[in-house]
Amino acid sequence: MYVSGLLQAAALDVVTQPGWQTHLRSLRHQLESRRDLLVTSLRQHARRRTSSRFPRAA
């Protein structure tokens, strides 16, 4: 797969900005909250059809 040098440079610029780590932390918290809400809903409404084991946060 070919990715142009210009696109690679732009991506590198984005992921090396200080705000990138802040964005990742915020995204992680949002995804954890969504996962927890989904697990809670599944346990309440589909207890017999769901696994008792769900992935934990990384």
Whether pTM > 0.85 for this model: the answer is no
Burial class, 35, CB count within 10 angstroms (exposed 0-12 / middle 13-18 / buried 19+): middle
pLDDT tens, position by position, 5-54:
999 999 999 999 999 999 999 999 999 999 999 888 888 888 777 666 77
Sign of CA dihedral 14, 58, 30, 22: negative
The Cα-based distances of 13 to 7, 9, 45 in angstroms read 10, 6, 45
pLDDT, residue 27, reads 96
The answer to whether 54 and 32 are in contact (CB under 8 A) is: no
